Amino acid sequence: MTTEQADKGQIGLSEEVDLKIKEIIEEGRFDHEQDVYRLAIAIALAEDLEPAPESRAYKTKFNVGSLDPEHSLRTATQYLRIDHGGRPQAMMERLAEAGVEHIHSHLNAGKPLHELLVKYARADDSSTEEQTADVDEPRA
């Protein structure tokens, strides 16, 4: 008989990626690590990034309640990543890990931040429609 593992209430990053988020902060673009962390999850979902392995040693950084008080990230993860295995918050952590690496790698290549962000801009261009067409079904 298997017992279901409880979801995480505290999430964070691996030691290695924690250094990367610190580097991003030091460069002065973001005010707090939380701002990067939330963006990393959102980008990981948007880019359909492969979540980092669950087996990594994650160092606790945030309480999910404080990080996502409206449950927006949790709900989006739960809906968009049906492979969360009943543990959407653990999935958020794995997505954050992948997302921070993605952001760090972009900035580390000397590319400006706005180049990374501009494709998510929705205001009055057609990018929103293109994205809608791309993502019409929940991802497995």
Partner 1 sequence: MIIRQLTFSNFLIFKGRQTLDLDRGLYVIHGETGFGKTTFLNGISWALLGRFNDRQGARVPDAVLLNQHAKKEQETEVLVEMVVNVDGEESLVRRTYDASTGVAHLYVRKGETTLHQDDAERFLRGVLDREVARFFLFDGEDLRRYEEMLAEGGEPQVREAVEHILGLPALMNAVTDLRAVAQDFRKKATSATRQEGKAEQAVLYSEQTEKGLDAAKEDLAGLEAQHVDQEVRRDQAEEVLGRDKALNQVLIKRDSMRSKVEELEKARDATVDRRQEALKGTWEDVLAGVVAPAQVAIEGDLQAAEHRERDELVIEKLNDSLSTGTCDQCSQPLHGDAADHINKDIEELRSGLPRPSRDLKDLRRIALALMGVKSTGRLNDAVSEDKRLGQLDRDIVEQKQMLSGLTVEAGPGTESAVRKATEQLENALKSLGFIEEKIKDAKEAVATASATLREAQLAVQKLSTSTESATLNARADTAEHLADLYEQAIGIFRDERRDQVGKDASEIFLGLTTSDEATGLRIDKNYGLVTLDSTGTPVPGRSAGQEQIVAFSLIGALNKNATRTAPVVMDTPLGRLDRGHRANVLKYLSDMADQVFLLVHSAEVDDSDLNEIRDQIVAEYEMRKEDEFYTVIERRQIG
Size of site (CB under 8 A) for partner 1: 40
Could you say whether residue 72 binds partner 1 (CB under 8 A)? yes
Please name the helix (run of DSSP H) or strand (run of DSSP E) that holds residue 10, with its range, or none.
strand 10-14
Could you say whether residue 137 binds partner 1 (CB under 8 A)? yes
Could you say whether residue 118 binds partner 1 (CB under 8 A)? yes
d(CA 123, CA 82): 29
Which listed residue (10, 78, 102, 106) binds partner 1 by CB under 8 A? 78
Nearest by Cα to 83 from 73, 91, 75 = 91
Q: Measure CA of the first residue to CA of the last residue in the chain; give whole Å.
A: 26
Residues that bind partner 1 (CB under 8 A): 28-32, 35, 38-39, 41-43, 45-46, 70-76, 78-80, 112-114, 117-118, 120-123, 128, 131-132, 134-138
